[in-house]
Amino acid sequence: MFTIQNIQVSNKAQGINSANSVNTLANNHNQIQAIFANANLSYKNWVYLTLTGRNDWSSNLAFTPTDHYFYPSAGLSFILNQMTELPQEISYAKIRGSYAQVGNTVQQYASNPVNNAADPNNPPSSNGVTLSNRPPYPALKPEKTKSLELGADLRFLNDKLSFSFTYYKSNTYNQSIPVTPPYPEGAGGVTGIDWLYGAGYVNAGNIQNQGIEFTLGYNLVTSSDFNWNTTINGSRNVNKIIDLDSKDGINTFQLTNSNSYQSFLAKGGSFGDIWGQTLQRDAQGRVMITAQGLPLLSAGFSKIANPAPKFQLGWNNSFNYKNVSLNLLVDGKFGGQVVSVMQSILDAYGVSKAYGDARDAGGVKINGVDPTGNNVTTIDAQKWYTSIGGRNAALGEYVYSATVVRLREVALGYNYKLSKTAAIKSIKLSVTGRNLIYFYKKAPYDPEVTSSTANGLGGVDVFNQPATRNYGLNLNVIF
């Protein structure tokens, strides 16, 4: 079998004939086997019932009390216009509901971590063993998500007007959350994780998502030569951490840690919460200034932002005139906050526009108070920005609205139809553009661009890549 670890790195450039192996990786593998069944039932074309069931056997669950997990689902829908006579204006009416469970296995080798032999061709680790830094966890259980969904689909005025609405709620249990135990004097730690280990897992949690989704569409113009359809869709999701591991008294898990910001799973909070330092203020909200004329930072971290939008809205318009088509999509994400570490570092080095403007204005205008109770209205730009910016910044001063409205996509196409007897039936040429115009944006960068897709790194700008505007040309030929 070909693997990248089998490549030999030659040292001939140094006059050495021998070759060293690329460092080997652990021989990790896993297997899932499953049985799936479903049944679809209907009665007189107006009531439909769908039942499913699946059972998975996962090798990752070896050394645990069970090596399998079962998850079913059921969906029921009624076509009201088939059940009974409705007003003429209602062309179609359907109500639906479903309940589903989804299972997920645990991390590889989490129940019984393995040790790896060191690479004998890579001194000084030859003839050694790389020990696992995680303890065995034979009590791990598979993750399970339970979801409830209710909705309706309606069409009016001979299908010119359409409306769809969905409410959903899901709760995820028994998540395998990696944690780092404390280091007390002696054995102990988190949920039985010995302090000699560097990390471990907690199999707990109840994270809830609930929200709504809707779509409203209308065919404004319908004729032989010209058609215009407009559609509005929106959604709102509320995430809440109901519980983490109450039985062991654990209400907070750290996902990300850096000099200036952290990300936590905290009971009562939401996934994606960003924590950072803020400025200390008195009872009147004034910034506290030290005797040296510097702003006073908070002693610890607190929640300062969450990038998840409160609401999302999209508006799509499709135009067709004879052989020409035009599609325009505008979307917006409203609410949420993002943090810019880059801006704080630029400020600290004195190379940002904000620093230059403050210097030209004679200092930073603030509402502050010194230790003697005197008001402070202006502070030197260098003192201010070197105190709140940099790698140990008060990122509470670098929180921005994540609201952004943009022209997401434009597509212009021409469809040339040939004779039915020709080998080529039609040719369609389209020009597309994405992320073309910002109609509204307050953050100093695109809030959709993140430093990483890893947990806890959403909504943080650490010298991110700039947003891109894309153009494309598409040719579609039908034979």
pLDDT tens digit sequence for 55-91: 999 998 888 888 889 999 999 999 999 999 999 999 9
Q: What is the largest CA-CA distance in the chain?
A: 93
How far apart are alpha carbons 144 and 382 in whole angstroms?
A: 53
Of all residues in the chain, what percent carry a pLDDT higher than 70?
84
**What are the tens digits of pLDDT across the range 30-55?**
899 999 999 999 999 999 999 999 99
pLDDT in tens, 277-326: 999 999 999 999 999 999 999 988 899 999 999 999 999 999 999 999 99
Residue 64: count other Cβ atoms within 10 Å of its Cβ: 19
pLDDT at 350 over 80: yes
Residues 6+ apart with CB under 8 A from 201: 106, 107, 110, 134, 137, 140, 176, 177, 178, 179
What pLDDT shows up at residue 455? Answer: 66
Dig out the tokens for 316 from the structure: 């799509």
Domain 1-250 has CATH 2.30.40.10: no
Are the C-beta atoms of 376 and 370 separated by less than 8 Å? yes
For residue 453, pLDDT over 90 is answered with no
Query: Given CA atoms 263, 265, 269, 272 in this order, what sign does their dihedral have?
Result: positive
Is residue 177 within 8 A of residue 107, CB to CB? The reply is no
Which residues does 152 contact at the CB level (< 8 Å), separation at least 6? 93, 94, 95, 96, 163, 164, 165
The ranges assigned to domains in the chain are 1-250
Distance CA 68, CA 104 (A): 10
pLDDT interval class at 121 (50, 70, 90): low
For the segment 325-344, the average pLDDT, to the nearest whole number, is 95
